[in-house]
Amino acid sequence: MGADYALVSLRSEQPISASIDLSQVPSVAATADSSVIRVRLETDAGTTERVPLVALDTAGYQAVTAGTGADAAFPDSMVTAVVASDALVPAIVSSFLPGTDADPGENLVIEGPRQVVLRLLVREVRDQFPGFDPGEPFIIVPRVSIEDQAAPWDLRPTRRYLRAPVEAGPALATAVAEQSAGTLLVSRANLLGELSDSPLVAAVSRGYRGTVVVTTAFAVLAALAAIALTAHDRARDLGFLRTMGLSTGQVARLTITEQVPWALMAVTSGVGFAFVLIWLLQPGLDISPFTGGDTAIRISIEWGPVLAVAGGVLVALMVAVALYSYRARRLNLGNVLRLGDRG
């Protein structure tokens, strides 16, 4: 929905209560009202198609979504909109508008309730906008630009978007429940929580966490095995070097110098290969059977598990080096030299 919270009517596309006052919740940083009106769009063929028009407080919505993944990034013409009664109304339109291929700079004609006709100036064409399903048409206009021209329309807000931290949720829910029984507070955090708790997402998450654990275990095992398999020969070599004055600290530094570079190279190449593999697979990823629409896949990297695997390998390697150095200090040099003679 593009915001931390939204107030919506329990009845679809009906106005929310005008009596709701959230000023007693100090953590609300910004608000934005929007109204959805069904209008008729004049197509290139001269016919009309019904599409939803959103009269949005663009300046407020810009503040609500600024710096988030749903940042509206409106052009200046949408935020500082002209309010003259005879001016063209700036608009952001969907690339899926029926019957027309609108481009920035073109004019569109719409007819709303009570035969009120508005002329729009297309500022941007977008594939998606928060609150609309992928492929669904929409027209976004600044509320202030149509308040005079569309005075006969019912522009009472059907949604109010809020910017507030997660901790403000209980206070907001209490305030809304006390002031309007017909208004619902929708929280983005709660929606994400419900999605995460769904069987499909939960199974994928458990599988992913299990994969990270198994991967870390194999990586640690490989690091330990690399030292253990060469321990016998290295003990003999270090024994010879100790007879020539190699100190205990130099034993540890020598082992680190030999083992850490290849471990870093292995971790770096493994992570790089994983990124390349994901990039190659991205065009073929399709979750539309689960979402019901052509949802675009955007890959995000969770650096926590990546760093956990890399850190686990390095920590295991350092522990192995410490144990190996301790064992090297306890070697009987006489036995080592006799072992060398037998070799």
pTM, two decimals, is 0.64
Element (H, E) at 179: helix 169-179
What is the percent of the chain with per-residue pLDDT over 90, rounded to a whole number?
A: 22
pLDDT of residue 84: 60
Whole-number average pLDDT of the chain: 81
* Residue 32: closest CA among 175, 168, 144, 174: 144
DSSP string across 75-109: -HHHHS----TTSPEEEEEETT-TT----TT-EEE
Which range is most confident: 77-81, 121-125, 128-132, 174-178?
A: 121-125
- According to DSSP, the β-strands at 183-187 and 5-9 are antiparallel
pLDDT tens for 146-202 read 888 887 888 899 999 999 998 999 999 898 988 888 888 999 888 777 766 777 777
What is the percent of the chain with per-residue pLDDT over 70, rounded to a whole number?
A: 82
For residue 142, the SS3 value is strand
pLDDT tens for 202-220 read 787 788 788 878 877 887 7
pLDDT of residue 35: 92
